[in-house]
Amino acid sequence: MPPRVRMFFAALTVVFFLIPAVALYSELSKRADIWWTPPSMMVPLTEAADRVRVYVRGRPVGALLEAGQVRVTDDASGTVLATRDIGFRFNNWDRVRAQRIPILLWYAAMCGAAALLFLLLVTGRLAYRGEKQAVGV
């Protein structure tokens, strides 16, 4: 393979390497603390019961709220909390991380394949050498 053609394919391989490499870098460099439920979408206590259980001194907080035993005191007065006054924000990072694994593996495989192809091109292992004549015929 002529050196010019080999350099062209090597440069093309580098470009094909950079596409998944940039995507892989951008996925891995995202902040991990942005996966919390937004404050405006907090989940009420009744809907969060399947994902979280809150206990105060060994008793479920829902039962304490219904009995009127949880109170918030301000400077001068105190008010009894109701179930609607409590909301939860969840960290969904574990679920997002699990969903990202296949695409990250795909990007890594493409980077490896492009690096291997680049290595084969640069070392001349893909050069066409033609057929050889049989010796001694």
Mind listing the pLDDT tens digit for each residue in 10-37? Answer: 888 899 899 989 988 988 888 877 778 8
* Alpha-carbon gap, residue 26 to 23, rounded angstroms: 5
Q: Give me the pLDDT at residue 102, please.
A: 92
On whether the CB atoms of residues 17 and 111 are closer than 8 A, the answer is yes
Q: Give me the pLDDT at residue 129, please.
A: 67
Torsion of CA 95, 96, 99, 105, to 10 degrees: -130
Q: Give me the pLDDT at residue 18, please.
A: 92
Domain ranges of the chain: 1-36+92-129, 37-90
User: Which has the closest alpha carbon to 32: 95, 93, 87?
Assistant: 93
Q: Give me the pLDDT at residue 112, please.
A: 92
Q: pTM of the full predicted structure?
A: 0.52
On whether the CB atoms of residues 67 and 121 are closer than 8 A, the answer is no
Whole-Å CA distances, 21 to 10, 14, 32: 16, 10, 20
Q: Give me the pLDDT at residue 32, please.
A: 72
Whole-Å CA distances, 27 to 11, 48, 82, 100: 25, 30, 42, 8
Q: Give me the pLDDT at residue 62, please.
A: 86
Regions of the chain short of the pLDDT cut 50: none
Q: Give me the pLDDT at residue 91, please.
A: 82
